[in-house]
Amino acid sequence: MTPNTEEKLRQLIDHPPEGSAIAEAKEFGVDLYSILENLKLTPAERFRRAAEETDFVQRIRGNIGTANS
């Protein structure tokens, strides 16, 4: 993503057209900046990040299960 494209997307997120899907998502509480940051990653980087987050959640769930025993 070029810096110019990123800047245009940031402006669109900050000032979405009234009634647009972006405006509705923003109003609903969707973290559009998180989506933008994710789009800057390659598919391999997104996959690696998702795998790391999955591992983290599984470790936490395992620790909670042992703490409640």
pLDDT tens-digit map of 5-64:
999 999 999 999 999 999 999 999 999 999 999 999 999 999 999 999 999 999 998 877
In this prediction, residue 67 carries a pLDDT of 56
3 to each of 6, 10, 58, 68, 69, how far by Cα in Å? Answer: 5, 10, 36, 49, 51
Query: Model confidence at 65, in pLDDT bands (50, 70, 90)?
Result: low
**What backbone phi and psi angles, to 5 degrees, belong to 31?**
-80, 90
- Residue 1 is predicted with a pLDDT of 84
Confidence band of 66 (pLDDT split at 50, 70, 90): low
Exposed (0-12), middle (13-18) or buried (19+): which is 8, by Cβ within 10 Å? exposed
pLDDT of residue 63: 75
